[in-house]
Copies of this chain bind each other. A is one copy, B any other.
Amino acid sequence: MTGVAISRTQQFRIDARRLAARIETLGGVGAIAGGGVCRLALSDEDRAGRDLVVGWMRELGLTVAIDAIGNVVGVRQGLESGPPVMAGSHIDTVSTGGRYDGNLGVLAGLEVVRTLNEAGMVTRRPLAVAFFTNEEGARFSPDMMGSLVFVGGLPLDAALATVGIDGASVGDCLQRIGYAGTARCGNTPVHAYVELHIEQGPVLDADGFTIGAVEGVQGISWTEFTVGGIANHAGTTPMRLRHDAGYVACAIASHARAIAREVGGDQVATAGAVALSPNLVNVIPFKAVITVDLRNTDEAMLQAAEHRLHAYAAEVAAAEGVTLSHRTLARFEPVAFDPAVVNLVEETARALGHSVRRMPSGAGHDAQMLARICPAAMIFVPSADGISHNVQEFTSLPDLEAGANVLLQVLLKLAA
């Protein structure tokens, strides 16, 4: 492109109403009470949503390829051939999902294409808009399955053999809904990947920022502790003769908060589930099971938090004379996005006049899989009150518009 062309493209803006209309139309597929959506991966509703979006891709002139795990990639030719600059996300939802989660990134990508089509603008590199199969993991485990297979991180056969919560396999469901494609998985070159997504957390909304330049995805450490004590009468058993599994579990839960404070930075800690046995007011619990969810963007800090947690748990259990065992329910290392692309998101947002903050993602996204094979980053827009995976999920029209315009300009720069 020439200097003049760059100047012209900097004026390009998406049409927010058009984007919002498509979000509403797609949100009508699998709609549930309260304004939400249920389009579990590879369900009839997912097929209907896929058909709708693929139709829109074809209307925009994109070349649609469907791979063997059902990922859909629509490519817009560039002045040169080669790996595309890709926007994408997912269109499957949890069972009580909202309209924005995933869908925004895909439909904003299509709105970018539409804007460029109407301007008659052809980028140097090809552009692509993709949606990946089963990002949510609500029907089939693991989540982010399609993007994981796309980058070669999970063998296709293993993914196809996965049986969901209703007993159906991924392979059979793909055949049934007509999305068992022919494109090969695991060796698709991508020049760069940018995913626009709602934050699904409260930070941007609470602090009054419009755009989040996402630096990476938190590492996750889920531990389940099982404490074995001795049931006894709450009145007749002196404190010195107790082996109280419930006390130890609650002490660990409380201490998780102290760990988050001590480690600092982006460290979060949550004790979300507790089960005491027999769970009666006047019986000292003989068993307690508790979960602790630790997350950090920095692997060393996450490990430090884990070490503190286990050291404390062992100490308090030994002092109480109870048994302690644990198992790891989940463990993922943090993902760092490409600093150049993160900078590009931040600078672009600022150039467009938006308030922007660098931040981690607390949830997993397809972008963390794409980051394995290409420079990748994400653009966050606010979730009202931080609410997501809920029919009340909401992002305002100005915020949708801001996010999509940042996506447009970032894609143009990456494709230039």
Contact = CB atoms under 8 A, between A and B. Distances in A.
A262 to B, nearest CB: 11
Contact of A200 (B206, B224, B233, B253): B233
Most buried by B among A235, A256, A268, A269: A235
Nearest to A276: B274
Interface in A272-292: 272-276, 279-285, 291
A388 interface: yes
Interface residues of A, number: 59
Contacts of A388: 233, 236
A250 interface: yes
Interface stretch (A22-30, A237-245, A345-353): A237-245
Given A250-B250, A257-B247, A282-B293, A202 B272 contact: no
A201 interface: yes
Interface in A259-316: 260-261, 266-276, 279-285, 291, 293, 295
A222 B363 contact: no
A199 interface: yes
Given A247-B253, A251-B254, A293-B281, A202 B237 contact: yes
B268 A250 contact: no
Contacts of A244: 257, 270
Contact of A241 (B202, B224, B251): B202
A268 B235 contact: yes
A261 B279 contact: no
Contact of A250 (B232, B274, B283, B386): B274
A271 B254 contact: no
Interface in A358-413: 361-363, 386, 388-389
A236 B363 contact: yes
A232 B388 CA distance: 9
A340 interface: no
B260 A254 contact: no
Contacts of A222: 281-282
Contacts of A239: 257, 260-261, 267-269
Contacts of A389: 233
The 7 residue pairs across chains A and B that have the minimum distance between CB atoms: A201-B236, A235-B362, A236-B362, A250-B253, A234-B270, A250-B250, A281-B291
29 contacts: A200-B233, A201-B232, A201-B236, A202-B232, A202-B237, A202-B238, A233-B363, A233-B389, A234-B270, A234-B362, A235-B361, A235-B363, A236-B388, A237-B268, A239-B257, A239-B261, A239-B269, A244-B270, A250-B251, A250-B253, A251-B254, A270-B281, A270-B283, A272-B280, A272-B284, A273-B276, A274-B274, A281-B291, A282-B293
